[in-house]
Amino acid sequence: MKILIFFIFVSSLFFHGGIAATTDYQTDPIEVEALNAILIENWKIPFKGNNTDIFYNSTYGNYYNETRYWDINATNPCTGFIVDDSEDQRVYDNISSKGKLDILCSCAKNNSSTCNIIRLSAWNLNIFGTIPVEIQNLKKLVFLDLDSNSLNGQLPAFLGTLSEMKFMYLSANNFNGLLPSEIENLKNIQKLYLSHNNFEGEILNSLGNLTKLKILDLEDNSFQGSIPSSIVNLVDLEELDLSRNSFSSHLPQEIGNLKKLRELDLSGNNFTGSIPNNLIQRERLGLLNMSLQGNPDLCFDDQCEKSSSNKTTIIIIAVICSTIAVFSVIIFIGWKVKRIARNTLSEEPLRGGPLQSTVPGIHTSNKEFTYLDLVIMTKNFNKIIGKGGFGNVYYGIDQRNGSEVAVKMLSNSSIQGSKEFQMEAQILSRIHHKNFVSLVGYCTETGHLALVYEYMKGGNLRNLISGQCNSSTTISWRDRMRMGLEIAQGLIELFTSRMSTDNSSSRCEDN
C-alpha cells in the first residue's frame, strides 16, 4: 500500500513539473542558420554521421572515448554535443580536434530550452577565403580554433562583438594588415594566438584593455614599433611571444612588473638599449624563461656602458681621420696649384730676366696680385680674349668681388720689353679718365709681369666701328663723331702727361 502511494506521488511530480522530465532542447535558430552558412556555404565542409573523439576527464585525470552524432543539415545541430556549462574542460580542449570539425553547445539552466554554440573548431581543414561574417551571430562563442588553414585578408572588426570569447586560435594562416581596434572589446579573452601570419603595424595601445589575457602569441609576423606601456595592465599575462618580427626601440620598464609572466620570447627583432633590471632579476630567480637572441643592440646594463664607450671611441677616431683627410686634400690642392704655376712658368718663360718685385711709380690704390692669384683668376689661363704687343690677354674673374677682368701677360715673344710694360702700368695707374679703360691691378713677380684691366664686353673699338662685333646695333654717324671726339680727348690727356700715344687705349662704349 505504501509502495503504491509513493509511485502515485512521484508520477504526479513528473506530470505536474515537480521534477523535470527529459527536456527537448533546441539550438538557437539564428545560430543554426549562421552555422550552415559558415560550414556549408563558405567552407564547403558539411559533416554528417558519427565520430569517436578522445576527451580528458578532469575529475579522474584520464582520457576517455565518446561517440558524437551530428547531422549538420538538421535543425538541431547541438543534439549530442551539449555540455553543462562553458567551464567544462571539453570546451577548451585543443588536442583532439585536429583535422576534423568540432562543436559544443551549452543549454540554458533556466526554464528556457534554447542551446547556444560555444565551441567551434576547424583546425587544419584546408579552409580557404576569409572569416565568414556569420560568425558574429554565434554570440555565446567562447572557443574558436581556425589554426593551420589558408584563411587570408585582414582580421574582421566584427570579431570584437564576440564578447564571451575566451580562447581564439588563428595561427598559421595568411592573415595580413593591421589588427582591428575592435579587438579591445574582447574583455574576456584569455588566450590569443595570431602567430605565423603576415600582420603588420604597431601593437595597439588598447591591447592593455584585455586584462584577463594569459597568453599572447604574435610570433613570425611583421609587427613594428615598440611594446606599448599599457602592457602593464595585463596583470594575468603568463606567456608573451613577440619573436621574429620587426619590433624596435627600448623595452618598456613596465614589462618587468608583470609578476605572473613565465615565458618571454623577444628573439629575432631590433630591440635596443638595456634590458630592464626587474626582468633580469626574475630570470636569475628562476621565475622567468627569457629568450632575447637576435637583437644585436639589446644589452645588459654593464654591457651597454662598454658598448657606449666603444662607440664614443669609434666616433672620436672617425672625426680625427676625417680631419686628417680634409687637411690632406687641402695640402694636395695647394701643391697641385703651385705645380701648375711652375709648369706654366717653364712652358712660357718671360724674357727680360729677373725683375724687381715692385714697379716704381705705380699708385698704391691699385691692387698688386700674385701669380697664384692670376692662375686662380683665369682658371689657369684657359680663355684667350685678345692679343697685343705685349702678349695674350686672358679672361678672368676677380675673386674679391666677382667682377670680370682682362689679364694682359708679358710673353717671351713680345716685341716690347719689360720697361715699356712697366711704363704702361705707371701711366694707367695715374690717369683716371672716362675714355680710358681702368687698371684694376698688376703683378710684378719675377718672370710674371701682368696688368689686370676692367673687362669691356663690347670688344675693341676697331671691331665695333667696322661692324665685326656681335651687337646688332648700327652706329650712326653722329655717334661715330662723338667717339672720335672722345678719343681725341683721351690723347690730349696722354700728351699732357708727356706719354707716348702707342700706349693709349680707348674705351668702346655702347650708348
In a domain, 200, yes or no: no
Residue 142 sits in a domain whose CATH number is 3.80.10
Q: What is the mean pLDDT of residues 329-354?
A: 45
Boundary-marking domain end, from 193, 216, 233: 193
**What's the pLDDT tens digit per position in 110-131?**
556 788 999 999 999 889 999 9
Give pLDDT, residue 268: 94
List C-alpha distances in Å: 251 to 216, 265, 276, 295. 17, 13, 7, 11
Minimum mean pLDDT range among 37-46, 54-63, 159-168, 195-204: 54-63
In a domain, 75, yes or no: yes
Strand runs labelled E in 23-61 = 26-27, 50-57
- Domain containing residue 119: 25-193
Higher pLDDT, 89 or 383: 383
In a domain, 147, yes or no: yes
Q: How far apart are CA 201 and CA 179, in angstroms?
A: 8
Q: How far apart are CA 404 and CA 112, in angstroms?
A: 104
Boundary-marking domain end, from 193, 220, 245: 193
Contact 143, 122 (CB under 8 A): no
In a domain, 340, yes or no: no
pLDDT score of 339 more than 90: no
**What's the pLDDT tens digit per position in 267-308?**
999 999 999 999 999 999 999 999 999 999 998 765 565 454
Give pLDDT, residue 445: 84
Give pLDDT, residue 113: 78
pLDDT score of 150 more than 60: yes
In a domain, 450, yes or no: yes
* 408 among annotated binding-site residues: yes
The count of residues in the chain is 511
Burial of residue 493, with CB atoms counted within 10 A of its CB: 0-12 exposed, 13-18 middle, 19 or more buried: middle
Q: How far apart are CA 343 and CA 341, in angstroms?
A: 5
Give pLDDT, residue 478: 79
In a domain, 342, yes or no: no
> What global pTM score does this model have?
0.55
Round the average pLDDT of the chain to a whole number and report it: 77
Boundary-marking domain end, from 170, 193, 216: 193
Looking at the structure of the chain, the number of domains it has is 2
In a domain, 336, yes or no: no
Residue 471 sits in a domain whose CATH number is 3.30.200.20
Higher pLDDT, 206 or 387: 206
In a domain, 59, yes or no: yes
Name, in order, each residue with C-beta under 8 angstroms of 407's C-beta and a sequence gap of 6 or more.
374, 377, 378, 381, 393, 394, 395, 396, 450, 451, 452, 453
Give pLDDT, residue 304: 65
